[in-house]
A and B are shown apart, each in its own frame.
Chain A
Amino acid sequence: MKSKLVSVSDAAALVQPGSTLVVGGALLRRQPMALVHELVRCSVRDLDLVTWASSLATDMLVGAGCVRSWEGIYVGLWWYGLAPNFRRAVEQGAITVTDHSESYMTSRFRAAAMGLPFLPVQPIRGTGTTERDDVRSVTCPYTGTELHTVAAVEADCTILHGYVGDEYGNVAWPVHRDSDDVDLIMAAGARTLVVSVEKIVPHEVITKHPNLTYIPHVKVDAVCEAPFGAFPGSCDTVYDEDDRELETWAAAGRDPDSFRAYLQDTVLASPDHGAFVERLGRVRTERLEVVQ
């Protein structure tokens, strides 16, 4: 094992302009915002995003003009309404979107994880997401049944936010967590994998419970420490989403200029993630911390 521990900005530098980027997390949980902030600071453009149920990461990258296309199962701000920047960009034709249902999308991530070019899925015919050129058919060689097929997610890079990790890139989840996501499968199928974690812990902490390691170091290209790295979303078991910040975001996002001003006052006002968290202040971050 070798150390793969780098700064947040060095980790984010592995994401190239014009690349296909898998972004992890689900709903308001564990969106890799520290890494996303860095992509916004560096104006990394023309990204093709592939997500599960995405919220803040997609909305911010779209609002900052970094996105060319999106595919996934959901983009919204969950309890805080529609994703305002994403919504406007789609309505204006500024980005293209491809909607997938959950079984088709899990199969696309699983195909990548299995090293397969595609996987068959039980067909769901007659819907707007399945009667499309990218969904094809195959006849089962055993039963003769006609199945749909979906292509593996062939992404250049994958960014995830996790709970704790060691310097080698072993990333572990807590015993009890909210597991309503597919980060595990995304990591398994990643070509270049960049993970931010709330806390870098000694290797000995990881080795005590290897069954909690859901991303092994062999998969990881860069790991970085980013406390409050999912802010203003939540990192389940560590802190809750920041309701006030999300309301501010939702309001600012209704207009491109006000969202640019919001980015200017928040992400761009801090040179790096450390400065960003410092700006939030202890009072603010302590309010969000949760005890399990």
Chain B
Amino acid sequence: MSAASVDELMAVTASRMLVDDDLVFVGVGTAGRAFSLAVGIPLVACRLAQLRQAPGLDVYWGNLLNPDLSSVPATLTQGTITSWRGAYAPADIGNKVDMLVRGEFDVSFESAAQIDRRGNLNITRIGTGDTPAVRLVGCLAQPEHLAFVRRPVVLMDLSSRSFVENVDFVSSRGHGDGPNSRKALGYRTAGPRAVVTDRCVFDFTPDGRLRLRSLHPGQTAADVLDRMGFEPAVDADLTETPAPDPAELEAIRDVIDPQRALLRA
């Protein structure tokens, strides 16, 4: 069996963060690489967890609770999404937003144009002037995710353009400016839990700073730091990201995504 691709490693790493009975939020995503990060990798991670340690895990994708992930069509169009089988799709999306605000989600998968040292996310605009250098999409429900979901997980490719000292716009609040900053702002959740990239995995220090936790095979700490706009904390026990085991890879390749509809790389 060939070695794990980067996307497979990211999916397996994310999958191992999921536990039985989790309710997981997955976005509807956009084009190209953004689709892999927002939809493809998260759905593979969820399905893999369902097949292994988390049979009771529920996914909420778009406005569909528990979409049937047993066979994913090779191409996704509105038609295939509309006819997707699932357990629940309320009359309007406001019901799902209510579930978010009530704190009913355990995990959400996030991606962003920028993330900073404190885990703040930006999907709204690049540039801090009166008019943005680049106008992005808005903010969707990402502010709610980081506020009300128990264990948000960020999936992003490592680059100094996106890992910045301070985000240009706080779409969603991470760990704030100090150890008690979330509590002071009235947040009842602990903030983003991990950041899984194409080169390494980060978690956060107890006082809320991004911390390099493990390196993917072939990566060095110097490679990683070169691709960041700030110097993160580094775990004293910096390790290699645990490799997928053959059974996990087999499940992804033969059962979950045989047509490469989700992991398109």
Residues of A within 8 A of B (CB): 26-29, 52-53, 72-76, 78-82, 86-87, 90-93, 97, 99-103, 106, 110, 121-130, 146, 176-185, 214, 234, 236-237, 240-241, 290, 292
Question: Which B residues lie within 8 Å of A80 (CB)?
Answer: 31
Question: Which B residues lie within 8 Å of A26 (CB)?
Answer: 93
Q: CA–CA, A35 to B104, complex, Å?
A: 39
Range for the number of chain B residues in contact with chain A: 35 or more
The answer on a CB contact under 8 Å between A91 and B134 is yes
Question: Which B residues lie within 8 Å of A124 (CB)?
Answer: 143-144, 147, 173
**Interface residue B78 (Cβ < 8 Å from any Cβ of A):** yes
The answer on a CB contact under 8 Å between A103 and B101 is yes
Q: Among A29, A97, A106, A236, which residue has the most Cβ atoms of chain B within 10 A?
A: A106
Q: CA–CA, A129 to B65, complex, Å?
A: 28
Shortest Cβ distance from residue B191 to the other chain A in the assembled complex, whole angstroms: 11
The answer on a CB contact under 8 Å between A99 and B124 is yes
The answer on a CB contact under 8 Å between B138 and A176 is no
Query: What 6 A-B pairs have minimum CB-CB distances, sorted nearest first?
Result: A290-B79, A180-B63, A102-B141, A234-B78, A101-B143, A74-B138
The answer on a CB contact under 8 Å between A99 and B91 is no
Q: List 25 A-B contacts (CB under 8 A).
A: A28-B78, A72-B138, A74-B137, A74-B139, A79-B31, A82-B135, A82-B137, A90-B131, A90-B135, A91-B131, A97-B135, A101-B140, A102-B93, A122-B148, A124-B143, A124-B147, A127-B143, A127-B171, A129-B143, A130-B143, A177-B82, A182-B92, A240-B78, A241-B77, A292-B82
Question: Which A residues lie within 8 Å of B62 (CB)?
Answer: 178, 180
**Interface residue B221 (Cβ < 8 Å from any Cβ of A):** no
Question: Which B residues lie within 8 Å of A90 (CB)?
Answer: 125, 131-132, 135
Q: CA–CA, A220 to B32, complex, Å?
A: 40
18 additional A-B residue pairs with CB within 8 Å, beyond A125-B187, A179-B63, A236-B81: A73-B139, A90-B125, A106-B97, A125-B186, A126-B173, A127-B139, A127-B170, A127-B172, A127-B173, A128-B169, A130-B143, A178-B63, A179-B89, A179-B91, A180-B28, A240-B78, A240-B79, A290-B78
Q: Which of B10-26 contact A (CB under 8 A)?
A: none
Q: CA–CA, A181 to B90, complex, Å?
A: 10
Question: Which A residues lie within 8 Å of B82 (CB)?
Answer: 176-178, 236-237, 290, 292
**What per-residue 1/0 map shows which CB atoms of B136-169 lie under 8 Å from chain A?**
1111111110011000000000000000000001
Shortest Cβ distance from residue A92 to the other chain B in the assembled complex, whole angstroms: 7
The answer on a CB contact under 8 Å between A129 and B171 is yes
Shortest Cβ distance from residue B162 to the other chain A in the assembled complex, whole angstroms: 16
Q: CA–CA, A184 to B151, complex, Å?
A: 31
A79, A81, A125, A181: the one contacting B93 at CB < 8 Å is A181
Q: CA–CA, A186 to B213, complex, Å?
A: 46
B138, B147, B148: the one contacting A75 at CB < 8 Å is B138
The answer on a CB contact under 8 Å between A76 and B30 is yes
Q: CA–CA, A291 to B260, complex, Å?
A: 24
Main secondary structure of the interface of B (DSSP, over half): loop
Shortest Cβ distance from residue A238 to the other chain B in the assembled complex, whole angstroms: 10
Question: Which B residues lie within 8 Å of A29 (CB)?
Answer: 78
B28, B63, B90, B131: the one contacting A93 at CB < 8 Å is B131
The answer on a CB contact under 8 Å between B92 and A181 is yes
**Interface residue B100 (Cβ < 8 Å from any Cβ of A):** yes
The answer on a CB contact under 8 Å between A214 and B91 is yes
**What per-residue 1/0 map shows which CB atoms of B63-89 lie under 8 Å from chain A?**
100000000000001110111000001
Shortest Cβ distance from residue B89 to the other chain A in the assembled complex, whole angstroms: 5
Chain A residue, CB-CB nearest to B61? A180
Question: Which B residues lie within 8 Å of A102 (CB)?
Answer: 93, 97, 100, 140-141, 144
- Given the known interface contacts A102-B144, A241-B78, A292-B83, the answer about A78 and B97 at a Cβ–Cβ threshold of 8 Å is no
Chain A residue, CB-CB nearest to B187? A125
The answer on a CB contact under 8 Å between B135 and A101 is no
Question: Which B residues lie within 8 Å of A87 (CB)?
Answer: 134-135
**Interface residue B1 (Cβ < 8 Å from any Cβ of A):** no
The answer on a CB contact under 8 Å between B28 and A27 is yes
Q: CA–CA, A86 to B125, complex, Å?
A: 13
**Interface residue B245 (Cβ < 8 Å from any Cβ of A):** no
Q: Among A26, A74, A87, which residue has the most Cβ atoms of chain B within 10 A?
A: A74
Shortest Cβ distance from residue A138 to the other chain B in the assembled complex, whole angstroms: 14
Q: CA–CA, A146 to B89, complex, Å?
A: 32
Shortest Cβ distance from residue B43 to the other chain A in the assembled complex, whole angstroms: 16
Shortest Cβ distance from residue A62 to the other chain B in the assembled complex, whole angstroms: 11
Question: Which A residues lie within 8 Å of B79 (CB)?
Answer: 234, 236, 240, 290, 292
Shortest Cβ distance from residue A200 to the other chain B in the assembled complex, whole angstroms: 22
Shortest Cβ distance from residue A288 to the other chain B in the assembled complex, whole angstroms: 9
Q: CA–CA, A79 to B29, complex, Å?
A: 8
Q: CA–CA, A121 to B144, complex, Å?
A: 11
Q: Among B97, B172, B181, which residue has the most Cβ atoms of chain A within 10 A?
A: B97
Question: Which A residues lie within 8 Å of B208 (CB)?
Answer: none
